[in-house]
Structure 1
Amino acid sequence: MLKIKKAGYKALSLVEHTALFTIALLTVIAMANEVWIVFKNWEVTLADLLLLFIYLEVFAMVGLYLKSGRLPVRMPLYIAVVALARYMILDMKNLDTWRMLGLSASILIIVIAILVIRYGHIKYPYGNSDKEI
């Protein structure tokens, strides 16, 4: 039974690392594509920079997961805030007042959640494992 358990763990670990490598590779390709578009158009917009920042956060999240074996909840929340801000910037002319307020409230709620999570990690640490993040 122990051999089956170890083989299953190795198989899952292989799938996990393959998926993480694929995500990292596709993120690099997407970043290169975005940089190519910027150079082709000879124009850098705030939306381009925010999209590159989202790609960078995804890449950092994969790196952190490979390094530590765990993923802090804050990382996807940071990505969500930037993605919502990017959406607001790109579609600002087409957003009505209520949708704009809803998106702003969503960003505020996510930021408050990040602060609560961060406070919880400082006030109630898990031990030595929290010092790495």
Structure 2
Amino acid sequence: MMLRWAEATRVKVHAIAESLGNLLVETFHYLALFAIGAVTAWAGLVAFLGMVEKGSISVDDILLLFIYLELGAMVGIYFKTNHMPVRFLIYVAITALTRLLISDVSHHHRPDMGVVYISGAILLLAIAILVVRFASSRFPAATAGSGSRTQRSTDSEAESMD
């Protein structure tokens, strides 16, 4: 009799602790997402205002805005699906390397091995996207539960939001 009471109490305490832990984790999760989204929007706005103040916009500036756009899209998709497509991180890396390549060639006007290295890195990242897309279509992520925050989206489902 006493063992049943102790086991029932343990189960209740475990359920309360799990619920409280989930609440704290999700609260932190939402606050962190809002903070990252706000910082990204702020950085994009500051960059845009700097371009307006300068009076001219270069390709470097436009690519920087695309980087902020991709970061904002990553936050939005993660907020909606609780899933971070790795492809978005690769897209940001490709855009950053493209920005570096254009900036280097336009400012220094001399192609050297650095251009080849950056182009090779972009090619490797493009191949990585192909591999990730193939793998996600061939081996989709398993869904866990039916709740909106616990359900995991496959990379191909998040792809429809691109």
Q: What TM-score do the two structures reach when normalised by structure 2? A: 0.74
Q: Relative to structure 2, which stretch is displaced further, 96-105 or 50-59?
A: 96-105
Aligned to 2:126: 111
Partners of 1:127 and 1:19 lie apart in 2 by 26
RMSD in angstroms over aligned alpha carbons? 1.9
Aligned residue identity for 2:103: L
Question: Quick one: which of 14, 17, 22 aligns to 1:9?
Answer: 22
Amino acid paired to 2:32: A
Q: Deviations over 1:71-106 (max 9, x none)?
A: 111010100000111112222328872222221111
- Give matches, 1:1-133, under 5 Å: 1-92=14-105, 93=108, 97-126=112-141, 129-130=153-154, 131-133=156-158
Unaligned runs of 5+ residues in structure 1 are none
Structure in which a larger fraction of residues adopt helix: 1
Distance 1:98 1:64 in 2: 37
How far residue 127 of structure 1 moved from its aligned partner, in angstroms, is: 6.3
**Aligned with 2:29: secondary structure?**
helix
SS of 2:48's equivalent in the other structure is helix
Q: TM-score, normalised by structure 1?
A: 0.89
The C-alpha deviation readout for 1:100-124, integer Å capped at 9, x for no partner, is 2221111111110101111222233
**What amino acid sits opposite 1:107 in the alignment?**
I
- The structure that has the greater radius of gyration is 2
Q: Which runs of 5+ in 2 are unaligned?
A: 1-13, 144-152
CA–CA distance in 2 between the matches of 1:94 and 1:23? 37
- Structure 1 runs of 4+ off > 6 angstroms? none
Compute the displacement of 1:34 (Å): 1.3
Distance in 2 between residues matched to 1:120 and 1:70, nearest whole Å: 16
- Count of residue correspondences: 133
